[in-house]
Amino acid sequence: MNNNSVAPCGVICDICLGYQREKNKCVGCLNVGNKPYHCTVCSIKSCEEKKGNEELLCYDCSKFPCTRIKNLDKRYTLKYGESPIQNLNKIKEIGLQAFIEIEKEKWKCNSCGQLLCVHREVCLNCGNKNEYFPQKNSTII
Ligand SMILES: [Zn+2]
């Protein structure tokens, strides 16, 4: 992870499946190169509030958190147990550098040391469990 690892919306590119997979690898939101179509037309990245500064993180915006970010956050939190809004609030509080240092440790697979994938229940590299992934079959009594 580095200073380009966090997309304006608060998603961490380095733990995304698109970034980690072997085939048709994505370079990450803030880097130039191959990306999935939906990321090239992202309305958050190209939001008019940023006045052309596409790399600006959304936490500094007067409309934060806007409906677009809230919708993304709802989906991400529910499906993957990860909140882009919380990430952005944390970055606002402690700064990008400190945030990245924390996330680097948080997502490190404790079996092989590679970064876990937020979209998968197990480490793509070694199959160790991703403890942050929501339990699908947990019984609520
Ligand atoms: Zn692993």
Residue-wise pLDDT tens digits, 120-132: 999 999 999 999 9
Collapsing DSSP to helix, strand or coil, 54 comes out as coil
The total of other beta-carbon atoms located within 10 Å of residue 135's CB is 8
- Cα 92 to middle of ligand 1, angstroms: 30
- Confidence (pLDDT) at 54: 87
pLDDT, the chain, mean = 94
- Cα 136 to middle of ligand 1, angstroms: 21
- Confidence (pLDDT) at 77: 95
- Cα 133 to middle of ligand 1, angstroms: 14
> Which protein residues have their CB within 5 A of the ion that is ligand 1?
109, 111-112, 123, 125-126, 128
Q: How many domains does the chain have?
A: 1
pTM exceeds 0.95 for this model: no
Contact yes or no for 16/26 (Cβ under 8 A): yes
Q: How far is CA 74 from CA 9, 15, 80, 82, in A?
A: 13, 18, 10, 9
- Cα 28 to middle of ligand 1, angstroms: 21
Containing domain of residue 55, as a range? Answer: 1-141
Express each pLDDT in 39-84 by its tens digit: 999 999 999 999 988 889 999 999 999 999 999 999 999 999 999 9
Residues of the chain with pLDDT > 70, as a percent, come to 96
- Confidence (pLDDT) at 138: 58
